[in-house]
Amino acid sequence: MTVESLNYIIALPEIFLLCMACAILVIDVFLRQEQRNTSYVLSQLTLLATFVLVLAGRTDQRLLAFNDMFVQDALADTLKLFIIAIIFVVFVYSREYLRERNIFKGEFYVLGLFAVLGMMLMVSAVNMLLLYLGLELLSLCLYAMVAFNRDDGDASEAAMKYFVLGAIASGMLLYGMSILYGLSGSLDIAVVATTAAGAPNIGLVFALVFIVVALSFKLGAVPFHMWLPDVYQGSPTTVTSFISTAPKIAGFAMIMRLLVEGLGGLQGDWQMMLVILSVLSMALGNIIAIAQTNIKRMLAYSTISHVGFILLGILAGNAQGYASAMFYTLAYAIMTLGGFGIVLYMSRAGFEGDQLDDFRGLNQRSPWFAFMMLILMFSMAGVPPTVGFWAKLAVLGAVIDIDMVWLAVVAVAFSIIGLFYYLRIVKLMYFDEAADAQPLECGRDMQLALSTNGLAILVLGIYPAGLMSLCVGAFT
């Protein structure tokens, strides 16, 4: 391996992020409790600098590094920018929550930075080994973050469930990859693609099944969704907001690299698998969400239904479908970020604010943020003129274009069912009396971030062309 083949400049944002995460880990050891804000500030500056490095290095070309294991292309650059921006906002939302519960520690931000590094590796990996390493780096950080509040039994239980089921899914992915390696003789996804495009092979289909099962688990598609509601509910809300947003973007990238780029020759096989997963996810997610009384658990089942819609775009099997799925994934991440941001805004010391009844009369206590929550709920339900409407329209258009009109009709039917539990939140906020009329307060940084988050949903809904052109550009 020569120095030229490394081409490490392409991976400069990842190298910088790794160095800073290690530095913050060491610096935090020497900080007193009252100086913990230093770790927060350094972490946010690290994310800002990484964002600038990715933005400055953007290119329309496809560049390879580290002996063709790492790629920089339009898809990778766009997804990395959104991952970094979303985690930056998650950190803003998290500070007051962590401080009020006496868990405001540098480890949270260090784990978050390493998780971001894992996601960035997943987005740029064109080698199965590097893809797996990125996934495991992300997963191990998330397991630790779920159990971050060591005095909370629910969090420890959620972390154990997540760890055990995550290990099973990772084992399935590794087994599928090992079969692909045995058949192709290479870990390079491009070589695997050549093998998959050749003569039919039962071994390839066998590997595909294991890989689709593992990917379904990581995204939370039915019937591999069992961990999602328990982990969302048991985790500290700030960790739930982390898990539910950026890792879904990284999961979308993993599907693009493995299924589309690596196993595109088996599209007929994985398309039918995704049809089944999509219908089951939309059905179970929307129906069971109606029965929930905990908003974190409700949003978990909502996530399952949204994953079903994302899979609609992917199973279309063309550039339009992939662009629409990417648009939906990014829109979903921004919507969910805002939803959990409002839950964090309502929480305080000794009070989680995660029950549906806690939203009663929110308009009386905080009219502006009740309006932000209304926008977010309308967007998740797919009501115009929010970005959620255009996201649903895009994926439905993709499946209609491949003559799967019946699938679009099924998706619309389940989307109408989903309207109930989203509009129930709006009803509680605006038409019920507040049990506690005390006004809600939070820091200026969180107020600004929450307002920007909510208004972004509205602006992207009124002007969706900008985001859609980014997504289309990633697949041209």
What are the φ and ψ backbone dihedral angles of 351, each rounded to 5 degrees?
-145, 120
Per-residue confidence (pLDDT) for residue 24, from 0 to 100: 92
Please say whether the beta carbons of 81 and 66 come within 8 A: no
> How far is the C-alpha of 182 from the C-alpha of 278, rounded, in Å?
30
Asked if the peptide bond before residue 385 counts as cis, ω within 30 degrees of 0, the response is yes
CA–CA gap between residue 126 and residue 109 (Å, rounded): 28
The SS3 call for residue 125 is: strand
Q: Where are the domains of the chain?
A: 3-473
DSSP collapsed to 3 states, 374-405: HHHHHHHHCCCCCHHHHHHHHHHHHHHHCCCH
SS3 content of the chain, % helix, strand, coil (to 5): 80, 5, 20
Letter for the amino acid at 236?
P
Phi, psi of 294 (to 5 degrees): -100, 125
Q: What is the mean pLDDT of each run of 10 residues along the chain (476 residues)?
A: 66 93 91 83 94 89 86 91 95 89 86 94 92 93 90 86 91 92 90 82 89 91 88 90 92 92 86 92 92 91 93 89 94 93 83 82 87 92 90 93 91 92 91 76 86 92 91 86
Among residues 348, 404, 470, the alpha carbon closest in space to that of 396 is found at: 404
162, two tokens: 């997540």
Return the closest-CA partner of residue 68 out of 124, 14, 123.
124
Contacts of 130 (CB under 8 A, 6+ apart): 66, 69, 70, 121
CB 52 within 8 A of CB 18: no
Distances (CA, A) of 40 to 106, 112, 163: 7, 11, 27
* Three-class secondary structure of residue 90 per DSSP: helix
Q: Which of 305, 416, 290 shows the shortest CA–CA distance to 356?
A: 290
pLDDT at 4: 55
Decide if 464 contacts 390 (C-beta within 8 A): yes
Tokens of 59: 């290119």
Give the span between the Cα atoms of 230 and 158, in whole angstroms: 6
Taking alpha carbons only, the member of 202, 376, 360 closest to residue 293 is 360
Greatest extent of the chain over all pairs of C-alpha atoms, in Å: 69
Q: Specify the pLDDT at position 152.
A: 81
Phi and psi torsions of 72, nearest 5°: -120, 120
Predicted pLDDT of residue 350 = 66
Cα angle, residue 372 at apex, residues 287 and 389 outer, rounded to 5° = 50
For the whole model, what pTM was predicted? 0.94
